[in-house]
């Protein structure tokens, strides 16, 4: 069935820690034996297989396994490819190292990826775009599953077209007034300080 969808030349690469799984190989299916939490093994794996179209992490489901697999193999996904991590509910199970808002879980790790995806819009020097920002198109969170669509991106830019629907002269006059400028600068400064300490914004707009 998968050949009819991906083509007869498509190949599946599997990874398992149990050597017996090597016996499941068949035409166009190759199995590598090793641990998904072993960075050295994953580095060797990258060298032995071509760039990946679709990667499905349905392995041991511990926090270390999920995070290390992502860190070592995400860059090996082709542009236009998909990275899928299953069984994220283990991020809430103590026997897998999980817990609600517990540091080190894959769910908490993945929440930071949301920031990275939007980093092009950051105004703060402390938070800048990274490799993930420029290589990821979208994140899709489902119940127990994270789907990441990979694609090359550049920083968005604004383009205006057409005719204005309203006269901005009145607004410009207001914004040029001394009172407005003082109010704007004062509130802007207050909110900048609050932002530094990650406190809620002072309402101003």
Note the residue count of the chain. 205
List the beta strands (DSSP E) in the chain. 12-16, 29-33, 52-57, 77-85, 136-142, 145-150
**Cα–Cα distance measured from residue 39 to residue 69, given in angstroms and rounded to the nearest whole number:** 8
Catalytic site residue from 61, 76, 121, 140: 61
**Cα–Cα distance measured from residue 82 to residue 147, given in angstroms and rounded to the nearest whole number:** 7
76 catalytic per annotation: no
**Residue 147 DSSP symbol:** E
Buried b (16+ CB within 10 A) or exposed e, 115-125: ebbebeeeeee
Neighbour tally for 59: CB within 10 Å: 18
Active site residues: 61
């Amino acid at each position: 069935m998968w050949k009819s969808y991906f083509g007869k030349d498509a190949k599946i690469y599997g990874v398992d820690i149990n050597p017996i799984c090597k016996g499941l190989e068949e035409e166009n299916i190759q199995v590598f034996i090793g641990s998904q939490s072993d960075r050295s093994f994953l580095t060797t794996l990258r060298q032995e297989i071509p760039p990946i179209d679709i990667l499905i992490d349905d392995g041991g489901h511990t926090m270390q396994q999920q995070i290390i697999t992502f860190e070592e193999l995400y860059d090996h996904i082709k542009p236009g490819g998909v990275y899928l991590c299953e069984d994220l509910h283990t991020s809430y199970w103590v026997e897998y190292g999980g817990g609600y808002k517990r540091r080190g879980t894959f769910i908490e790790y993945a929440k930071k990826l949301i920031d990275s995806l939007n980093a092009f819009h950051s105004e703060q020097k402390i938070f800048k775009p990274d490799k993930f920002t420029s290589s990821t198109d979208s994140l899709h969170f489902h119940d127990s599953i994270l789907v990441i669509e990979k694609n090359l991106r550049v920083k968005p830019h604004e383009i205006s077209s057409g005719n204005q629907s309203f006269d901005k002269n009145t607004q410009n006059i207001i914004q040029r007034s001394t009172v407005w400028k003082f109010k704007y600068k004062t509130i802007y400064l207050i909110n900048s300080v609050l932002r530094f300490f990650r406190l809620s914004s002072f309402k101003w707009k």
